[in-house]
Structure 1
Amino acid sequence: MSDTQPAERASSAAPAIPGYQIIEKYAETSRAEVWSALQISLERTVTLWVLKHESAADHGVADHFERVARAVSRIRHPNFVQVIDISRLQDGTPYMVLENVEGASLTATLHVDRRFDQKRAAAIVLEIAKGLDFAWKQCGFIHRNIKPDTILLSAGDAVKITNYNTAALVRPGENPLAYDGGMVVGTPNYASPEQIECLRTIDFHSDMYSTGALFYQMVTGLMPFGGESDQMKVLDLQRSGTLEDPRSIVPTVLPGIVHIMQRMMAKSPEERYAWWQDVVEDLQRVLAGRPPYIPSGSYVAPLSTIAVSGAGAAASEVSPGAAKPKRRIRQTASVSQTPSSARPAAGPGCLGRLLGLAFVVAVCAFVAHQRIQSLERPVAASGDQATLSSESVSAAPDVETVDAAEQPADAAESAADATDESSTSAEPALDPAAGEGDAASIAASAAASTATAPSATDAVPGVDVQEQLLKDIHEALKTRPFSEAVAFAKKTFKENEASPGVDLAECRRIWDALRTACSFEDMLGHAVASSHGSRKMSVAGEEFVFTTTAYADGELIGLAAPMDGTAAKPVRIKVARMAPQEMYDLVLSTAASTNRADLFSRAFLIMKVGDAGGFSLFVEKHKLDELAPFIDYVGK
């Protein structure tokens, strides 16, 4: 296990690094030593992370250390400590240089305060979630060691995530655990069950679990399973044990906060929040004095490390306004006429019926008022999404960056499409202030919402439910960023698995294809980089001849020669910001891989641009039977 140890436990000599004056070593981990140093040229204090000699001797580990450092250097986010340089010592040992952050670790702060006010803790978790969400979307980054030691707090509780030496990058066709030497990476008291079991399917949900454990500690003052000294026992408890209900420790803890913790620390990744954005939105609601969203009126709490007193306690104590109706395919039931002879005997008299009708009308009016007040889920108020397009393009000094249009195709679309829930809700999207407007404005808002968010819930009477489900998923794949379309499909399958008329076997095959497919940018980047020679391509309407030298971290690196015959220039092209048609035109110049993840990705790109003939031929040629059900819908 990886844990930070005090500097006194190490006695290695200070590294000699040109341009830096070593001040002191103040910590070390199982893989690296941490030094404070002065960057002489800029007269500023920095932090050096130097890989230990025994780790550096493994070339795979050393290369992985550099690869992670390079990826993190491109994560420009206020909640991440910035990597400002990467290099190697004379003996080949890699190191990274991080900005120096004035402040204290969360460990030191908790040592003084013991526990935080629940709103303060929620605000800190909110910032951690924003940072990890951005990093995951940027480069598939997972930290794998979120704990008090790796979170820094500066003035005003400004949050910074640090310590990247155990991080991994989740990329298609690569094993994120390849350089762990078969060891469990992380800290037992915060490690997720899948992290402990060394599952290769690990993703950002593991960090979500660890952040939930940190949330629990900040609110209760107790380290998760901190009373157990046997670390192997702690690992066992993370997989099958439970923590005491936070309200039995701090009675004033809000039910909404308990609900968020419980979902973040669900034993199974599938039962945690689907995306970091969902965590962000629920935390924002709690901080605004509103309850979090409950997935459905018949919500069943997940099997979680957080024990809740009484069945469904967290859900039952949340306001009914927080519940979202579960999306189901609407069935077309035949109405049978009951013969008059078989009808039940007459009920109460006229007065009784009138009183009953008045009661029903009053209840309906109250329910309608409550739904208008609390129906719509607001999009998180985060500036990160708005600035993503400008920050996602990184250019080295003296290297020109070829930029795509302001509306990217697959990586960062408009904020209105940023969350699956806000754009796929089965109910009309109402502005919170719409209740004060006239009926026409509310109707217009509802019409606009349903027009932009087709779903299986809106099935046309008489249409086969499986056909409607396929149409909805095809529409999502055609109009949304691929990652959001996959999330939409996952929820649609899960929420309709019990609906009559749904072909579960076909749905499972389609889902297997969706989760196997790699991102468009990785499929295209690797295809272009592995193809030899130059090719004509277009980005944002600008045509040039491109000669590829490499593909790394979502960027095609090479030389671009303008069509006017002027000299070629070195460029980095952010593939995610190319339009789908530009990607498709470029991919046609490359040979198809035999890798199934690449083949599925290429097929979904053909589907996105609407090439019906090309899609049908590609599916048949490569025997992608999982996608055959979509042949009738592509291009329509």
Structure 2
Amino acid sequence: MNNTDDKATLLVVDDDQDLLQALSRSLRKERTRWDMTFVDSPEDALTILDGFSVDLLISDVRMSERDGMSLLVEARERCPHLQVILMTGMPDIDAAIEAIKAGAAYYLTKPIDHDKLITVIEDALSHRKQPLSGGQAAGLRQLRTPRLIGGYRIVRPISEGNMGSVFLATKEVDGQPQEFALKLLKLSSSPAEAREAACQRFTREAEIAFQMEHPNIISLCEYGIAMQDQVPYMVMDYFPGVTLDQYISERPRIDHKLCLNILLQLAGALTEVHRHVLCHRDLKAENVLIDGAGHIKLIDFGVAKITNSSLTQTGMVVGTPSYLAPEWLSNQPEVDHRADLFSFGVLAYQFAVGVLPFEADTLPALIRKIVREVPISPTTIEPSVPAGLDRLILRLLAKDPNDRPADACAVADELLLIRSGMQGSEY
């Protein structure tokens, strides 16, 4: 989402993470013409509407915090110009009529066809081509007034996560405006005890990130509490890249020399991480940024495990299931840095052949595959994968941590050998 006049801004709300991710994937190709933010909480949606100009709100009807009709009414009260599309898995004619009366442009039934969704969005956004009245223009200017957090001027949202929201922000440094990434903790309507635990995790993430010094780890500039809003925040260097999963999905074929160079950068970053924490625990393609020159930055230490940390107790499974090591999923008493090497192997597999090594329709089935099944070798899917890389990936994905490389530094050494063996050859 941005605040320019030439690009429509969309805000999508659904408290079902799977459906939200499905919508994100469905609309990914439209990012060149629409600026989109995806949130899983109606309260977060209202917060964004308070601070930014939004042209179209797309919301689920049935949500736990509040229903879509209630959100529609309040959103339209705050932003009269706002177009709204409601989605439902339980269609009802009377409800649809009430939604249209309340100001919804469309009332769509799930599962939503991609082409129909695009057509509906285009139609709902057609109002942007019409001149604004004086009152509408004044309201729009008011919405576009940036907010200040900790002395940083928020420009637009960048991404949305379970724990926090990341915004592009600016601040004058030595008389010149400089861009930063500002992360705010999401507290919303959580109970007091949960909010306190979230604040502790957020602060700990900032403390961990502040220790890291590596060219492939995002640099933390400062962290604290925004006194006006009493919201924990951290400020990082702004890195104008895309997530690695988006990078992979947009390329039908990955150059394996480029793949090796990126994996080498990531292995170096992971080596630095393990100097400070026992385990990152959420190493995945979504937590790696890459720019057009092939440089990467590792981000997000929100679930990193520190030795003897009460916030990451043994038996607590956190992270993204497809990337989790078997020892996490089988509740083994001792889990160390080698669990991250398994996640590294999943990411390397994904990068080398474009698909994940373990996929299933349900979470229990996925867990069974990760714990019990040997993945198909990368060269079986893509014969051009270097043999050395194929062997390394399968070792990283070993069920027994003792069968994996010793550490990230050892992985980097092997990647260097594989790359040197490719010099002067096609692959």
State the TM bucket, normalised to the shorter chain.
0.5 to 0.7
Query: Displacement of 1:217 after TM fit?
Result: 1.0
Partner of 1:402 in structure 2?
A: none
Change (3 A) 1:176 1:155: same
AA matched with 1:270: N
Cα distance, 1:177 vs. partner?
Answer: 1.8
Alignment of 1:218-617 (within 5 A): 218-226=351-359, 228-289=360-421
Asked if the contact 1:177/1:198 (under 8 Å) is kept, the reply is no
CA 1:78–1:279 in structure 2 vs 1: closer, same or farther (change >3 Å)?
same
Q: Report how far residue 118 of structure 1 moved.
A: 2.4
Match of 2:269 in 1: 131
Match of 1:161 in 2: 298
Instruction: Give 2:183's aligned amino acid.
Output: W
Q: Deviations over 1:331-356 (max 9, x none)?
A: xxxxxxxxxxxxxxxxxxxxxxxxxx
Aligned pairs for 1:98-177 (under 5 A) are: 98-137=236-275, 139-140=276-277, 142-169=279-306, 171=307, 173-175=308-310, 177=312
**Among candidates 150, 155, 170, match of residue 18 of structure 1:** 150
Structure-2 separation of matches of 1:199 and 1:31:
26
Offset, 1:40? 4.3
Deviation of 1:207 (Å): 1.4
Cα deviation, 1:543-567, whole Å, max 9, x if unaligned, reads xxxxxxxxxxxxxxxxxxxxxxxxx
Matched, 1:215 2:353: no
| Other-structure match for 1:626 | none
Q: Which residue of 2 aligns with 1:48?
A: 182
1:16·1:89 contact (CA, 8 Å) conserved in 2? no
Q: Distance in 2 between matches of 1:136 and 1:164?
A: 12
Alignment CA distance shift 1:115-1:211 (3 Å): farther
- Distance apart, 1:141 and its partner CA: 5.2
In 2, distance between residues paired with 1:2 and 1:164?
A: 20
Counterpart contact for 1:141–1:168, Cα < 8 Å: yes
Give the whole-Å Cα distance in 1 for the aligned partners of 2:214 and 2:325. Answer: 25
Shift of 1:204: 1.6
Contact 1:116 1:219 in 2 (8 A): yes
> Do the aligned partners of 1:31 and 1:55 also contact (CA within 8 Å) in 2?
no
Displacement after TM superposition at 1:55 (Å): 8.2
Contact 2:357–2:376 (CA under 8 A) maintained in structure 1: no
Q: CA RMSD in A?
A: 2.8
Q: TM-score, normalised by structure 1?
A: 0.42
User: Rg: which structure is higher?
Assistant: 1
Q: CA deviation at 1:11?
A: 0.6
How many residue pairs align between the two structures? 285
Does the C-alpha gap of structure 1 residues 73 and 62 become closer, same or farther in structure 2, counting only changes over 3 Å?
A: same
In structure 2, what is the Cα distance between the partners aligned to 1:265 and 1:34?
32
What code does the residue aligned with 2:233 have?
Y
User: Matches of 2:234 and 2:364 in 1, distance apart?
Assistant: 32
Deviation at 1:236, TM superposition (A): 2.1
**Residue 171 (structure 2) aligns with:** 39
Contact in 2 for aligned 1:264/1:273 (Cα 8 Å) = yes
Measure, in 2, the Cα distance between the counterparts of 1:102 and 1:58: 31
User: Could you say which structure has the higher strand fraction?
Assistant: 2
Percent identity, aligned pairs only, is 26
The equivalent residue for 1:8 is 38
Aligned equivalent of 1:472: none
* Structure 2 SS opposite 1:142: coil
* Partner residue in 2 for 1:414: none
Contact kept in structure 1, 2:150 and 2:225, CA below 8 Å: no
The reply to whether residue 194 of structure 1 matches residue 311 of structure 2 is no
| Residue aligned with 1:266, SS | coil
Distance in 2, matches of 1:157 and 1:2, equals 30
CA distance in 2, matches of 1:196, 1:267: 11
SS of the equivalent of 2:224 reads: strand
TM superposition shift of 1:176: 5.9
- Give the drift of 1:164: 2.4
Partner of 2:82: none
CA apart distance, 1:209: 0.7
SS in structure 2 opposite 1:88? strand
Matched, 1:76 2:216: no
- Amino acid across the alignment from 1:116: I
| Structure 2 alignment gaps of length 5 or more | 1-15, 25-36, 49-146
The answer to whether the Cα contact below 8 Å between 2:377 and 2:394 also exists between their aligned partners in 1 is no
Name the TM-score, length of structure 2 as normaliser. 0.61
User: What is the aligned partner in structure 1 of residue 92 from structure 2?
Assistant: none
